[in-house]
Amino acid sequence: MRDLATRDVIRKEMIGLLLLAIFIISFLFMEEIKNDSVFDNLPSSIMHVNTVFLSILIEAVPFILLGVFVSALIQTFVTEQHIQRLIPKNPFLGIGVVLFMGIIFPVCECAIIPVVRRLIKKGLPLHLGTVFLLTVPIVNPVVILSTFYAFRNNMEVVYGRIGLALLVAIIIGLIVYWVFRNKDQLRSHIEHGAHDHSHGITMSRWKQTVYHASDEFFDTGKFLIFGAFLASMFQVFINRNDLLALGGNEWSSTGLMMGLAFLLSICSEADAFIAASFGSTFTVGSIIAFLVYGPMLDVKNMLMMFAYFKTRFVFVLMGLITLTVFAVTMVYQFVA
């Protein structure tokens, strides 16, 4: 049994190393690869997929590294007692505290899932972890600043993005608390990030942090690479003009912009500049829906959620995010 587990760990590490090697080779030798005669007969769309794929990875990897190191620091230095002292025992007051923790955790959606998983393992209640997951990629200084620069002539989008994100997170946090009652929703097999790296040898906390970060990076990186590949396929082979033609009213344009946010999988620290390019085509409400929905749910973080959380919880959460963002945005458009 132990040999089987060891072989499984080795297999996963080999796959992770292989994927990393493909990424590094593609990144360092892309021009030589593109100019090789072998690729002369390939359709340009294939090379375009490769370019988009690498651009998504290059954009996301620094944030993934940030996320895994934050997660490793939490694993090494934060105890269950620290979490209990920080978070109020009242489940509703706890939501109020977690809503604004993005200010001290400036990570985007590319990096948030390992951090949330680690906090829940350390004792953060499930519904507060969900609120943290949904708000931090939006309510953090870097994302607020990028949204401000992209829409400095239309502050309604900036305030709308922050306000609706907080409202959606509160609603979903309350529903998760009511439905799941803090029952464990983490996958049990994702455990080796927490195993004892010392193997009986005294090891400094900083060295343990590096080991944990390394494990976490290979766990998360596999799903990031696959998600980036799917997102690049969507970006290249789906005609945006055909999609834009469908957004003729508030209902369809809101649904369409949410669909684009999911498929394009753009990092929340850069998505405001993409959204600004749609400003003359879609309503303000649908632009805000794009900016709220994408950081909460896109292709790459959906795959990461399936890797770290139980399947039923992920499907429920995906449904809640989709319905709540759409409903709140529609109400906003009719009231504003």
- In this predicted model, what pLDDT tens digit does every residue of 230-265 receive, in sequence order? 777 777 777 766 666 666 677 888 998 898 899 888
In a domain, 112, yes or no: yes
The overall average pLDDT reported for the chain is 79
Confidence band (pLDDT; 50, 70, 90) for 39? Answer: low
Residue 163 has pLDDT above 90, yes or no: yes
Q: How far apart are CA 184 and CA 87, in angstroms?
A: 18
Q: In the chain, what percentage of residues exceed pLDDT 70?
A: 77
- Give yes or no for a contact between 118 and 83, defined as CB atoms under 8 angstroms apart: no
Residues 6+ apart with CB under 8 A from 281: 244, 247
In a domain, 317, yes or no: yes
In a domain, 202, yes or no: no
Least confident of 46-60, 110-124, 187-201, 209-223: 187-201
pLDDT at position 193 is 45
Domain count, the chain: 1
User: Three-state SS string across the chain, please?
Assistant: CHHHHHHHHHHHHHHHHHHHHHHHHHHHCHHHHHHCHHHCCCCHHHHHHHHHHHHHHHHHHHHHHHHHHHHHHHHHHCCHHHHHHHCCCCHHHHHHHHHCHHHCCCCCHHHHHHHHHHHHHCCCCHHHHHHHHHHCCCCCHHHHHHHHHHCCCCHHHHHHHHHHHHHHHHHHHHHHHHHHCCCCCECCCCCHHHCCCCCCCCCCHHHHHHHHHHHHHHHHHHHHHHHHHHHHHHHHHCCHHHHHCCCCCHHHHHHHHHHHHHHHCCCCCCHHHHHHCCCCCCCHHHHHHHHHHHHHCCHHHHHHHHHHECHHHHHHHHHHHHHHHHHHHHHHHHHC
Nearest CA among 66, 63, 103 for reference residue 265: 63
Segment 12-36 mean pLDDT: 64
Q: How far apart are CA 283 and CA 278, in angstroms?
A: 9
Least confident of 88-92, 278-282, 309-313: 278-282
pTM of the model: 0.75
The pair of three-digit structure tokens given for residue 264, joined into one six-digit string? 């394009």
In a domain, 321, yes or no: yes
23 or 200, higher pLDDT: 23
pLDDT at position 194 is 46
Q: How far apart are CA 116 and CA 270, in angstroms?
A: 22
- Give yes or no for a contact between 98 and 134, defined as CB atoms under 8 angstroms apart: no
In a domain, 243, yes or no: yes
Return phi, psi of residue 186, to 5°: -85, 145
Task: Tell me the residue range of the domain where 118 lies.
Answer: 46-185+208-335
In a domain, 191, yes or no: no
Least confident of 17-26, 149-158, 162-171: 17-26
Q: How far apart are CA 96 and CA 101, in angstroms?
A: 10
Segment 72-83 mean pLDDT: 75
Instruction: Scan for tokens 């509160």, then name that residue.
Output: 170
Nearest CA among 288, 324, 292 for reference residue 156: 288
In a domain, 199, yes or no: no
Residue 330 has pLDDT above 70, yes or no: yes
86 or 299, higher pLDDT: 299
Q: How far apart are CA 54 and CA 48, in angstroms?
A: 10
In a domain, 190, yes or no: no
